[in-house]
Amino acid sequence: MTFPTLLLASKSPRRHEIFEKSGFDFKVVAIDADEDFPQELKGPEICEYLSLHKSQHYQDNLDQNLLITADTIVVVGDRVLNKPESEQEAFDMLQLLSGRTHFVYTGCTIRSSVKTHTFHDATEVAFYALSDEEIKAYIQNCRPFDKAGSYGIQDWMGLIGVKSIKGCFYNVMGFPSGKFYRELQNFI
């Protein structure tokens, strides 16, 4: 199937990689939007809200292009884990995930000049118990400060820390490519 040029509004190198591997014709565009959300939102509502919020901040003419925005969050219990701002925050997040199951939600918005569609995907991830030394070494060697929940499933933590995954691997990496492909087909 042939799609219009996609304008990917993301700084994430992992999303760029997923789009390249998927074979999409895309260009990266910049959007400046805060990532604040109403506190009453829960789980997938948060990532859908943020994805749509980012999309609404793109003001250039779309012409025949489609704008794609996304936001990924990690949720353990009732706690939302975004990107850590310090080594201590990364350590605390990974310690919280250690030996537990959590959910990764990615909200995506597809926008044309005439319509908008927002959806999400969810993946359940279980971690093995991690020692403090393993967590510290991971933070020092992998610098997970640009990753929701302080880890990348595609790196060392995914190799040694993930016990099981139920759902889309690429969703945990930052973009649910399989679901997106189907939603895009229905959008056009």
Residue 53's alpha-carbon distances to 47, 85, 90, 107, 131, in angstroms, are 10, 22, 26, 11, 38
- What is the rounded CA–CA span in Å between residue 24 and residue 66? 12
Domain contains 86: yes
- Burial class, 84, CB count within 10 angstroms (exposed 0-12 / middle 13-18 / buried 19+): buried
Structural domain of 133: 6-187
Q: Which helix (H) or strand (E) holds 161?
A: none
pLDDT-based confidence at residue 3 (cuts at 50, 70, 90): confident
Q: Are 171 and 15 in contact (CB under 8 A)?
A: no
Number of domains in the chain: 1
Q: Which of 71, 92, 121, 132 is catalytic?
A: 71
Domain contains 53: yes
96-126 residue pLDDT tens: 999 999 999 999 999 999 999 999 999 999 9
pLDDT of amino acid 35: 87
79-98 residue pLDDT tens: 999 899 999 999 999 999 99
Contacts of 54 (CB under 8 A, 6+ apart): 9, 31, 33, 69, 70, 71, 109
CATH of residue 113's domain is: 3.90.950.10
Beta bridge partner(s), residue 28:
8
pLDDT-based confidence at residue 145 (cuts at 50, 70, 90): very high
Domain contains 21: yes
Q: Is 71 an annotated catalytic residue? A: yes
Domain contains 174: yes
Domain contains 108: yes
Domain contains 1: no
Residue 1 has pLDDT above 80, yes or no: no
